[in-house]
Each structure stands twice: as structure tokens, then as C-alpha cells.
């Protein structure tokens, strides 16, 4: 029996590697001296198994586990007989370094080998994956291989995220009671409702309070995340890929590797979880290093009405404002005059663009901007040349030979191209590769606009293979065009996960540009994904997806805390509002380095109508905070608001940066952020210590609902 102890940045993972391998502890740093393992033996109750139940790395009935099993599968013999349904894994070997471990277990009777790897990354984020290998002669049908981690009984509440189109990643929570809480994703893609994070924590854990054990499953296909509280009182959190019946069969020598499960432990509420994820993201070799350019995406400006003269005007207007990347959205390829046709025909439309995209790209580049292009490579319209030529390239539950054969239901008039079919995959690769090779393109907005239901290749379920084939497409195009950045968009934010983010450079968090919705969408997207990877645009004054109207300051302050841009007809923004927009773009350029490298702060405010978030530089020298009011305030006036996260002993100068309280407001009368008189310090700024800001706070003006204020703090001594 041996112990492996991985410790890093406040987190301990203690592995007990005896005959059975188990996680003895995952959570707070235990220090260098560990207890005798024999001290940890559990009691044996009446009417129970005669030995303590072992919660192994792969919980299983053969060890007495009666919760969700870690491995489900069976052997099929040639006559249809079934055996080998209950694995009994025993440790064969283990190894470790300071921050990583590998444990191999085998079931000699079932002829299975399982290798589990653990890595604690800098910042304390734990990464786990299993590989299951069939070492026997026959087929092993794999139904599920789950990654689980034990959490202590003080983790009495669970919080996860849910949502829908235009309302992604909203939190929901409840107490953990006996039973299993499962979040299933059967969308074939990550899903608008997918939980980016499933967190168990001490009661009432909050932004900066409480202990939290949180997991994320890095996969863009079907999946389940769960909390399992079993009758013996133990609780595990975990995740698994969700397979269709018969989807994964391990032939002799074949293996299956799970997506990685990332797990963060925090003693400082969600902000500690977020810090662990940000540290991991930012340490990656491929993490974007250059300043994130100001974007203009033309979708809500022109939709499918692509007109070279208009687009050139938009480019000129954008450049004049300070935009650095111009993105041409859906509608540029053959037959794509609306969303009924053209997907799959990845050729520049000759009628609309007789001279190709070059005239527009040249205009964009001559203004000093990068050019970006929208694509949706995984999809196909029936009304397309490619679908007419290759009806068998459409994924579905039956082997399709003619246009009359059964298909899944249409969604936005489109289907999924069967990327498991090598010819279809190669065609899509060749076309996107050609478009990138023939044009000066710096950026792809890679969309995916439907759930992938009833995915099948040659009549067999194929969501797993389709997801891997899509990953391979991203990887191959990235390898061929390493300078091209890729955004993961999926009807807005339906493909936001660490699987896709290993091969892309940002995500589109939502099709909703309404700042009020965005405050929550971005807060929870950025609980895991750092702001430099989260696209956030200033939409039109009246939101196209909700019909709400917001002044520029609320839209701008909300968009600033991300990879900032605009999505509207910027030609129409004139006069004072244009000057204000220019000012906002300058603010973004001034603060983007801070926003994209600093520590995310989310305050715990008692007034539910208010939200305060910010970013503090790693060395504590500066910070930026946004205070927004979502509804009319709870109290008559907000009183003092505390700004956490600064160096307690340092003095800071804090000021209102935007909107200046004296700034004349464009638009309708009464469209102002602040009601009546402001506290006097707002006019001139204040000098206070980080401790005073965190513990006492400063009095705030009365904010009108759906408005925000931007504050800057600078360390002065
Ligand atoms: C859905 C995306 O989320 C939008 O931003 C836009 O690109 C449309 N698709 C285009 O069809």
C-alpha cells in the first residue's frame, strides 16, 4: 500500500494506492505530513457488507459501491451471450512526479486495463482522465466510463448552470440530498443549457465566501455531470460522456479515453474557483498573447444583405472609430441569400461577389484592420449543391442512399454533414482550407447552429465520432493556418467548454447582445473562461433579440469586460453618441491589458438589484470595477458599496471613469445613469486604502435600473 500526495497552490490530492486505488482526500492543502492510512478505515454498520465499502477511483459494485458506477459495459460473445458486466479492478502499477500521477488497474478476468492520470496544474486546477483498454480477445461494449471525485459531507449545496438560446449560463442551486442530481446534455453539442461548472459547496457559498469543490467536463458532445449522494452518506461529483446504445465497442486492443475532467477547490468562494481556471488557461502555450483587437461583426448590421458598397462603408466607418478586426458574417457563399440554402457550398458566391472577397478584404486591410469570415463547416442544407450530389453525406439514423431516405428533423432548415464519412470530412477540409489559402483571412467565426440529434454513420450512432471528427477538422485547419484565430460560436453560446477551447481562441457567449442579459451570461461564462476569450459586443440601442432599449454606457460597460467589439450598423452612430463610442473604444484599448491578465472579482452584495464585478492587476497596482443596476434598487439608496480584492495596506485613488456624471447624454430625455445628486466624492475621486474599500466601502449614487458605472482604482503608495 502506498500514498501519492500531490500538493500545489493550496490544494492537496491524496491517493491511496493499495489493492484498490482511491482518492483519500481532495481539497485543502494537508501540509507535508500525512496521517497513517489505517486511521482512515471506515466503520461497518449492521445489515451491511462485512467490510468497509471502498470508494475506488472507479466506484464499482465489486467493492460494495451502490451509487452510480464508474464503469458500465459488458462482453458480447459470438452467439449473443453477455458476460463480464461487473468489473473488479485491482492496482497493477502506479507512478508519480511532483504534480502528476498515473495509476494502472486491471481486471484479469474481464481482461480490461484502466489507466487514470492526474495532474495538478499551477494554480491548483486538477485534471483527470481515464483510458480503458480491452486486453481480451472479444468485444467489450462500453456503456459508460465516468470520472468521479469524493467531496466531504460539509458540501451540502450544489450549484450548476443552465439556460437556453439567448440566456446561456444562468445559475440554479439546491441542497444536496440523498440521491443523484444529474445534468444530462443530449444536444450532440455542448448545449445552451450545459453546465459549464457543477459545484458542491458549504451552505450559502457565494462569490467570495465558502468552500467549493467544482468540476468541468471538457467535451463538446453528449455528456452527463452529476452529484451522487449515496445511502452510506458519501458524496461524489463527476462526469461522463453519454453514449447512445451500442455506440462504443472496444475491439481487442482497442481503447477509449475520456475527455478531461477539470476540478477546482476553493476556500474563497467562486472567485477562487475562477482563479484556478484562469491560471490554467493563461499558462497554456497557445493562449493569445497579442492585444485582443476591437471587433466589428456585421451580422446585426446587414444580416444576409451583403452589398460590397455598404460593407465598404461599414469598414470605413469602423476603422474611423478605432476598430481593429472586421468580421463578415453569414451570407457570402453560394446560394446563401437566407438561412434556407447554401450550407456546405463553401465557394464565394460568384453572383454576389464577381471579383471574390478580395475587394472587401483589400478595403478592410487598407484601413489597418484584420479581416474575419463566418463559416459553419459541420452543417449542410438540403438546398445545396453538395447535398444534391451526396445525399449519403447527411448524418442520420439510417444509412441514406437517396434523397428520400429518412433524416432527422430539420433545425433552422439544416442538417449535419457526416464528418465520420472520410470523403465528406475531406471535402469540408479542402473547401475551408482553400478559402483560407486564397484570401487574406485572419479570423474565422466558426458557427454550429443546431442540436445534433439522431447522429448516425452507416446506421450506427455516431455523436462520439462526429465530435472527434469535428475536433480533427479544427485541429487540421489550425495546423495548416496557425496564424488564423478561430471563434467557437454555436447559435450563440452552445459550444463553450474546455474541449473546444483547446482548439479555438475565443467563444461567442450568446447571440443576445442585450446588456441586461449579458451581465449574468458573462458573469457565469467568465466563472471558468477568462474575459480575453469571451466575445462581448455592443449591440444596437434596441436589442434585436429582446427588444429592450439601453443607453450606450450600460451596453459599453458590460461589453468592456470581455473581448470587446460591436455588432451594429456603426455608420448610423453619429454626433455626440459617436464621440462617446470613440471614447469607450479608447477606454477598452487603455484597459484591455488589465482586463485580460488580471484577477476577476465578483463582490457579494446584499442588494439583489446590484452587481459589482471587476478585475485587479496581479500586482495589485490597478483595478477596474463595474457596478450595474439590474432593476430599481432594493433600498431607497444603495449606501456604501465595498470593493474587494485590492491590497489591504495600500492607498488607492479611486474615480468614476464612465459615464462622467457631467457628460451630456444623447438620446431621450431622462436617459441618465444616475439619479439626482451624487455623493460628493464621485465628482473629484477619493483616496482610500484597499482595506477601507473592502471593509467599509464608499457611498454610491442612486443608479437608474439597467445602467452601470465604471470605476478605476490606482495604487498610489
Ligand atoms: C448564429 C450566430 O450566433 C450569429 O451570431 C450569426 O453568426 C448567425 N448564426 C448567422 O447565421
**Residue-wise pLDDT tens digits, 546-583:** 999 999 999 999 999 999 999 999 999 999 999 999 99
At 380 the pLDDT is 98
pLDDT score, position 661:
57
Enter the C-alpha cell of residue 391.
445525399
The minimum-distance atom of ligand 1 relative to the CA of 492 is 3
Quote the ligand 1 centre to 491 CA distance (angstroms): 6
Indicate whether this model's pTM tops 0.95.
Answer: yes
What confidence score (pLDDT) does residue 663 get? 53
Strands 622-629 and 651-658: unpaired
Ligand 1: which atom is nearest the Cα of residue 374? 7
Cβ of 511 less than 6 Å from ligand 1: yes
State if residue 487 touches ligand 1 by the CB under 6 angstroms criterion.
Answer: no
The Å distance, Cα 445 to ligand 1 centre, comes to: 9
pLDDT at 670 over 80: no
Strand ranges for 247-362 from DSSP E: 248-250, 255-257, 261-266, 295-297, 325-328
Distance (Å, whole) CA 492 – CA 241: 23
For 501-551, how does the pLDDT look when each residue is reduced to its tens digit (9 = 90+)?
Answer: 999 999 999 999 999 999 999 999 999 999 999 999 999 999 999 999 999
Nearest to 494 by CA among 155, 184, 188: 188
pLDDT in tens, 469-496: 999 999 999 999 999 999 999 999 999 9
On the 0-12 / 13-18 / 19+ scale of CB atoms within 10 A, 316 is middle
C-alpha 550 to ligand 1 mean position (Å): 22
pLDDT for residue 666 is more than 70: no
Instruction: Enter the C-alpha cell of residue 664.
Output: 451630456
Name the β-bridge partners of 185. Answer: 223
pLDDT at 271: 98
Going by C-beta distance under 8 Å and a sequence separation of 6 or more, which residues neighbour residue 654? 643, 685, 686, 687, 688, 693, 698, 711, 712, 713, 714
- The pLDDT assigned to 668 comes to 42
The catalytic residue positions are 447, 511
Minimal-distance CA residue to ligand 1 atom 11:
330
Cell 461567442 belongs to residue? 508
Share of the chain above pLDDT 70, in %: 98
Q: Choose which residue among 168, 337, 374 to substitute to test ligand 1 binding: the one with the highest number of ligand atoms within 8 A of its C-beta.
A: 374
pLDDT of residue 76: 84
pLDDT attached to residue 110: 95
Q: Is the CB of 447 under 6 A from ligand 1?
A: yes
Determine the distance separating the centroid of ligand 1 and the alpha carbon of 639, expressed in angstroms: 42
pLDDT at residue 32 in the model: 95
Q: How far is the CA of 508 from the centre of ligand 1 (A)?
A: 10
CB 497 less than 6 A from any atom of ligand 1: no
Ligand 1 atom closest to residue 490's alpha carbon, by position in its atom list: 3
Q: How confident is the model at residue 671 (pLDDT cuts 50, 70, 90)?
A: low
CB 313 within 8 A of CB 321: no
Rounded to the nearest 5°, which phi and psi values hold at 441?
-115, 130
> pLDDT, tens digit, for every residue of 313-323?
999 999 999 99
The lowest-confidence range among 145-159, 162-176, 623-637 is 623-637
Question: Which candidate, 165, 144, 181, 171, places its Cα nearest to that of 60?
Answer: 144
CA-445 nearest atom, ligand 1: 7
Please tell me if the CB atom of residue 333 comes closer than 6 angstroms to any atom of ligand 1: no
Q: How many CB atoms lie within 10 A of CB 409?
A: 9
Model confidence pLDDT, tens digit, residues 60-84: 999 999 999 999 999 988 787 899 9
- Within 10 Å of residue 639's Cβ, how many Cβ atoms? 13
pLDDT digits (tens, 9 = 90+) for 208-235: 999 999 999 999 999 999 999 998 889 9
Q: Which of 489, 506, 543, 545 to mutate to test the pocket of ligand 1 (most atoms within 8 A of CB)?
A: 489
Average pLDDT for the chain? 96
Does the pLDDT at position 293 exceed 50? yes
Q: Give distance in angstroms: CA of 492 to centre of ligand 1.
A: 7
Banded model confidence at residue 312, pLDDT cuts 50, 70, 90: very high
Amino acid at each position: 500500500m502506498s500514498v501519492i500526495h500531490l500538493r500545489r497552490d493550496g490544494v492537496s490530492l491524496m491517493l491511496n494506492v493499495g489493492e484498490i486505488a482511491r482518492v483519500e482526500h481532495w481539497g485543502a492543502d494537508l501540509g507535508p505530513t500525512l496521517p497513517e492510512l489505517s486511521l482512515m478505515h471506515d466503520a461497518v454498520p449492521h445489515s451491511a457488507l462485512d467490510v468497509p465499502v471502498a470508494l475506488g477511483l472507479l466506484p464499482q459494485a465489486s467493492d460494495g459501491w451502490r451509487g452510480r458506477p464508474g464503469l458500465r459495459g459488458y462482453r458480447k460473445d459470438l452467439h449473443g451471450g453477455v458476460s463480464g458486466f461487473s468489473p473488479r479492478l485491482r492496482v497493477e502499477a502506479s507512478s508519480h512526479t511532483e504534480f502528476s500521477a498515473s495509476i494502472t488497474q486491471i481486471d484479469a478476468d474481464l481482461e480490461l486495463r484502466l489507466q487514470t492520470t492526474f495532474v495538478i496544474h499551477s494554480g491548483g486546477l486538477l485534471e483527470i482522465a481515464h483510458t480503458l483498454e480491452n486486453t481480451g480477445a472479444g468485444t467489450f461494449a462500453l456503456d459508460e466510463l465516468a470520472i468521479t471525485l469524493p467531496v466531504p459531507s460539509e458540501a451540502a449545496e450544489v450549484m450548476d448552470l443552465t439556460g437556453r438560446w439567448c440566456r446561456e449560463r444562468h445559475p440554479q442551486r439546491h441542497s444536496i440530498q440523498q440521491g443523484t442530481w444529474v445534468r444530462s446534455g443530449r444536444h450532440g453539442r455542448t448545449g445552451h443549457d450545459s453546465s459549464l461548472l457543477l459545484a458542491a459547496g458549504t451552505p450559502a457559498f457565494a462569490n467570495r465566501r465558502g468552500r467549493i469543490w467544482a468540476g468541468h467536463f471538457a467535451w463538446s458532445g453528449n455528456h452527463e455531470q452529476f452529484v451522487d449522494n449515496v445511502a452510506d452518506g458519501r458524496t461524489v461529483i463527476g462526469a461522463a460522456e453519454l453514449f447512445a446504445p451500442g455506440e462504443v465497442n472496444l475491439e481487442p486492443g482497442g481503447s477509449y479515453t475520456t475527455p478531461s475532467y477539470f476540478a477546482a477547490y476553493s476556500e474563497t468562494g467562486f472567485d477562487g474557483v475562477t482563479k484556478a481556471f484562469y491560471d490554467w488557461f493563461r499558462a497554456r502555450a497557445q493562449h493569445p498573447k497579442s492585444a485582443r483587437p476591437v471587433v466589428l461583426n456585421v451580422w446585426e448590421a446587414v444580416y444576409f444583405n451583403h452589398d460590397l458598397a455598404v460593407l465598404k462603408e461599414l469598414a470605413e466607418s469602423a476603422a474611423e472609430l478605432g476598430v481593429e478586426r472586421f468580421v463578415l458574417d453569414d451570407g457570402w457563399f453560394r446560394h446563401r441569400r437566407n438561412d434556407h440554402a447554401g450550407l456546405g457550398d463553401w465557394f464565394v458566391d460568384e453572383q454576389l461577389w464577381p471579383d471574390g472577397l478580395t475587394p472587401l478584404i483589400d478595403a478592410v486591410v487598407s484601413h489597418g484592420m484584420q479581416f474575419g469570415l463566418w463559416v459553419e463547416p459541420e452543417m449542410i442544407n438540403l438546398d445545396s449543391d453538395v447535398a444534391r450530389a451526396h445525399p449519403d453525406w447527411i448524418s442520420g439514423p439510417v444509412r441514406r442512399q437517396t434523397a428520400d431516405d429518412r433524416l432527422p428533423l430539420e433545425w433552422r432548415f439544416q442538417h449535419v454533414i457526416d464528418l465520420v464519412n472520410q470523403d465528406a470530412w475531406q471535402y469540408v477540409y479542402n473547401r475551408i482550407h482553400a478559402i483560407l489559402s486564397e484570401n487574406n483571412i485572419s479570423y474565422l467565426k466558426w458557427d454550429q447552429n443546431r442540436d445534433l440529434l439522431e447522429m448516425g454513420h452507416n446506421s450506427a450512432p455516431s455523436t462520439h465520432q462526429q465530435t472527434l471528427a469535428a475536433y480533427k477538422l479544427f485541429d487540421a485547419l489550425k495546423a495548416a493556418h496557425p496564424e488564423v484565430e478561430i471563434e467557437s460560436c454555436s447559435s450563440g453560446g452552445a459550444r463553450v467548454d474546455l474541449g473546444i477551447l483547446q482548439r479555438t481562441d475565443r467563444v461567442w457567449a450568446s447571440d443576445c447582445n442585450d446588456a441586461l442579459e449579458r451581465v449574468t451570461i458573462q458573469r457565469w461564462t467568465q466563472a471558468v473562461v477568462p474575459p480575453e476569450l469571451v466575445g462581448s459586443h455592443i449591440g444596437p440601442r434596441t436589442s434585436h433579440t429582446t427588444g429592450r432599449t439601453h443607453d450606450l454606457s450600460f451596453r459599453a460597460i458590460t461589453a468592456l469586460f470581455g473581448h470587446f467589439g460591436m455588432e451594429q450598423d456603426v455608420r448610423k452612430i453619429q454626433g455626440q453618441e459617436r464621440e462617446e463610442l470613440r471614447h469607450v473604444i479608447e477606454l477598452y484599448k487603455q484597459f484591455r491589458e488589465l482586463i485580460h491578465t488580471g484577477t476577476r472579482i465578483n463582490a457579494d452584495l446584499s442588494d439583489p438589484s446590484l452587481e459589482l464585478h471587476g478585475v485587479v492587476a496581479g500586482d495589485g497596482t490597478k483595478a477596474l470595477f463595474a457596478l450595474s443596476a439590474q432593476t430599481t434598487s432594493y433600498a431607497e439608496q444603495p449606501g456604501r458599496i465595498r470593493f474587494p480584492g485590492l491590497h489591504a495596506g495600500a492607498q488607492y485613488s479611486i474615480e468614476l471613469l464612465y459615464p462622467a456624471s457631467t457628460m451630456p447624454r444623447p438620446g431621450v430625455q431622462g436617459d441618465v445613469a444616475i439619479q439626482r445628486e451624487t455623493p460628493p466624492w464621485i465628482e473629484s475621486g477619493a483616496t482610500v486604502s484597499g482595506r477601507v474599500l473592502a471593509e467599509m466601502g464608499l457611498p454610491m449614487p442612486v443608479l437608474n435600473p439597467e445602467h452601470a458605472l465604471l470605476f478605476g482604482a490606482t495604487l498610489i503608495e
